[in-house]
Amino acid sequence: MQTALLFLSDNLDLPLAVRSLLLIQDLHPEDVDAETLPGALLQGDCGLLVLDGVLFAAMDSAGRSRLANRCRQQDVPCLLIEHYGDPPPGHLPWTCGRIHKLHDLDEWGEKLELYLHLTDLEREVSRLRRRVDSHCQENDEDMRSAAVIQQSLLPKRLPALDRFRFVWKFLPYEKIGGDLFNVLQIDEENLMAFLLDVSGHGISSAMVTVSINQRLSLHTGQLVKRHIEAPPYYQLLSPSEVVSELAVEYPFERFEKFFTIVYLLINIRTGQLTYCSAGHPPPLLLHADGSFERLSQGGGLIGLVETGPYGQGELTLKPGDRLYLFSDGLLDQANASGESFGDERLVSVLTANGRGLEACCQGAVETLRAYAGEVTAQDDVSLLGIEFCG
């Protein structure tokens, strides 16, 4: 049985029912203080840290940094209790989740089950990564395992809405690239969509992709929806806010990677679109009359110093408008002469008249393959099409 370390202030009494719930999850509750916590984290049998937000806020910046590093190094998930009011200052990307209601057993149960399972997956991914590093890149079996992870993050199904159509195409790079995209319905009025591309290839890029996906998840992250105390009890972050948060959480020094992303929100009823592009190829907005525009508002790629601040663009989709998001692997695909496919060819294919969204996207893929011929792709190719039907 692993240990659940309880770093709580004297006036915080963890309910007996919560302690029992920890035991059901094979976690033995153990109370620790500021002196015993560092050593307890290094014992190797810690399965969870329950952290009092008041104690965390009282730490100096060096103490918070040491605690965060130890949790990362030991793969220890953390639940932060925020029952005292406002959350503690600073960004906490290393915490798995936050408990808003101390006596809510349903919340405890849901968070424990979810984040312990995620931690098990992260530990398994870390184990695979260490194996690949130690056996070099010739270990094809582990590389295929990482490819399965990347494939598992692709959309299983897209929202079924009368006002919208969605189509996606993905051509994976044989050495595992860093592309990821999704469309999710946040609530009755809003959709979110994103497409990102992590630098490099292989296991390291795939693992960064997994991490970012968790941060953008509606279930495991807090970037899309942030808890507030008043109804409706959540607040949607704007695209520029989401991208700015990612820029803080993913400096180059953390993973030695940078990435580009385009992130957008769409009002389902009105078609109002807000977006932010961080160093990513500008999405193409094709109007029903055949005209088009590129959505270029945002800032620099994430991971480099001083690429912000990030702006955002706003517009209202009209019936028949189509929005295309794509990665640079599509634009950079070369032919036998070394010439890239390029933006103009993509626009020409996507603006062809008389074809539905599926046919347009499939046509783009087929045209790209014909253009490349025998030339092997050097990156993932991702294309996401969104049509507003009105």
Residue entry with tokens 């945002």 = 298
Q: How far apart are the first and last CA of the chain?
A: 56
Of 327, 316, 361, 367, the residue nearest 345 (C-alpha) = 367
C-alpha span between 287 and 353 (Å, rounded): 11
Q: Is the dihedral of CA 221, 223, 224, 229 positive or negative?
A: positive
pTM of the model: 0.64
User: In whole angstroms, how large is the CA radius of gyration of the chain?
Assistant: 23
| Distance between CA atoms of residues 225 and 304, nearest Å | 26
Instruction: Compute the distance between CA of residue 145 and CA of residue 121 in angstroms, rounded to an integer.
Output: 13
- Looking at per-residue pLDDT, the higher value among 361 and 308 belongs to 361
> 178 to each of 39, 152, 211, how far by Cα in Å?
37, 13, 11
Name 49's bridge partners: 5, 78
Residue 76: the pLDDT is: 83
> CA-based diameter of the chain, in Å?
72
For the chain, the structural domain boundaries read 2-121, 156-388
Give the per-residue pLDDT at 2: 86
Cβ neighbourhood burial of 195 (10 Å; 0-12, 13-18, 19+)? buried
Contacts of the segment 61-70: beta carbons below 8 A, 24+ positions apart: 61/90, 64/90, 66/38, 67/37, 68/92, 68/94, 70/38, 70/41, 70/42
Query: In this structure, which CATH number among 3.40.50.10090, 3.30.70.980, 3.40.640.10, 3.40.50.720 belongs to the domain 2-121?
Result: 3.40.50.10090
What tokens were used for 377?
């792709």
Report pLDDT digits (tens) over 220-278. Answer: 767 888 888 888 888 899 999 999 999 999 988 888 899 999 999 999 999 999 999 99
Q: Of all residues in the chain, what percent carry a pLDDT higher than 90?
A: 41
pLDDT in tens, 39-62: 888 887 888 888 888 888 888 888
At 80, is the secondary structure helix, strand, or coil?
A: strand
CA distance linking residue 264 with residue 274, whole number of Å: 6
Whether 324 contacts 283, CB under 8 Å: yes
156-388 architecture in CATH?
4-Layer Sandwich (3.60)
Instruction: Find out whether 122 and 76 touch, Cβ atoms under 8 Å.
Output: no
> Distance of alpha carbon 346 from its chain centroid, rounded?
27
Q: What is the DSSP letter of 375?
A: P
